[in-house]
């Protein structure tokens, strides 16, 4: 199975969890997913009233410089850990 296939499978498997992961786990998954699929964050930081958007932006921005393949590997590892914990 290729890296992209494993990444896409992990992304699908995470959507089918029976219990909700913690907010921090979800933010980490989001940041790794965005880094893996888009690359470095080049968007403007959301305004002060968009708290959820700021948290997501900050978490994604913390991954700046991480290679997309490395982000995919990290996403797969975290997804497997979360699936084992919440499935």
* Stretch 47-67: mean pLDDT: 97
d(CA 55, CA 63): 13
Whole-number pLDDT of residue 87: 78
Average pLDDT over all residues of the chain: 97
Return the CATH number at 59.
1.20.80.10
Q: Is the pLDDT of residue 22 over 90?
A: yes
Whole-number pLDDT of residue 23: 96
pTM for the model? 0.94
d(CA 66, CA 39): 8
Residue numbers of the domain that contains 54: 3-86
Split into its structural domains, the chain has a count of 1
Whole-number pLDDT of residue 58: 97
Whole-number pLDDT of residue 27: 98
């Amino acid at each position: 199975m290729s890296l992209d296939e494993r990444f896409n499978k992990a992304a699908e498997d995470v959507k089918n969890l029976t219990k909700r992961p913690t907010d921090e786990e979800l933010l980490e998954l989001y940041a790794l997913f965005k880094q893996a699929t888009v690359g470095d964050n080049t968007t403007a930081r959301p305004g002060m009233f968009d708290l959820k958007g700021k948290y997501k932006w900050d978490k994604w921005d913390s991954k700046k410089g991480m290679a997309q393949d490395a982000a995919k590997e990290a996403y797969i590892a975290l997804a497997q850990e979360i699936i084992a914990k919440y499935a």
